[in-house]
Amino acid sequence: MRLVPGSDPYIICSAPDGTIQQLRFDGRVTRFSLGRFSGDHSFDIFDVDGDGFGEYIFIDKGILYLYDHNKSEMFARDFGSEDLGGPLNFVFSGTERKIGVYDMKKKQIFLIGNSGETMNGFPLKGASMFSIGKLSEKSGWHLIVGGTDRFLYNYKIDKEIK
C-alpha cells in the first residue's frame, strides 16, 4: 500500500490477483489489471525513470515486471529463482533511480536499472533487505546488507550499467 501524492492524491495497492486499486479520498475507487499474478506477488509504484510518473513494479514467481504509467510493459526480468524479495526503490539523483531485489535462497542482492539491466558489480552477497545511502559527503554510495554469518556487509557501489 502506498500513498501517491499530487493534486488528486490516492492510496494504491494490489489485490491478491494483481488487480491494482486506486483509492481516492473522495470515495472513488479505480481498478485495473496489468496481468494475472499469484497471491504471493509483491507490488509497488515508483518513478523508476525520473519522468514524474510512477511505474508499476511487480515481483512474482521469480520475475520482476515493470510497467510504465501508460500501463505498457517496459520489461520482465527472470531471476531464475522463485524466492525473491523486494522491490526496493532507490533514488541517486533526479533522473537516476534503481530497483533493488534480493534472492533469499541464493543469498544474492541485485540493483536493476529501468531497462531491466543489472548494475556494475552485482549481484552481491547478502541475505536480507538492503539500504543504500551516503555515509559521509566524500564516501560515495554505500550499500548495507545483512549476511548469513550474522555480520553487516558494507559495500561501496558503482551505479553504472554492466
CA dist., res. 69 & res. 47, Å (int): 9
Supply the pLDDT for residue 159.
59
Question: What is the reported pLDDT for 160?
Answer: 54
Looking at residue 157, its pLDDT comes to 87
Mind listing the pLDDT tens digit for each residue in 43-64? 999 999 999 899 999 999 999 9
Q: What is the pLDDT of residue 87?
A: 97
CB within 8 Å of 41: residues ≥ 6 apart: 14, 18, 58, 59, 60, 61
Each residue's pLDDT tens digit, 74-115: 999 999 998 999 999 999 988 899 999 999 999 999 999 999
Name beta bridge partners: 45.
56
Residues 6+ apart with CB under 8 A from 3: 9, 10, 11
Is it the case that residue 144 has pLDDT exceeding 70? yes
Would you say residue 161 has pLDDT above 90? Answer: no
Confidence of residue 162 (pLDDT cuts 50, 70, 90): very low
Mean pLDDT score of the chain: 92
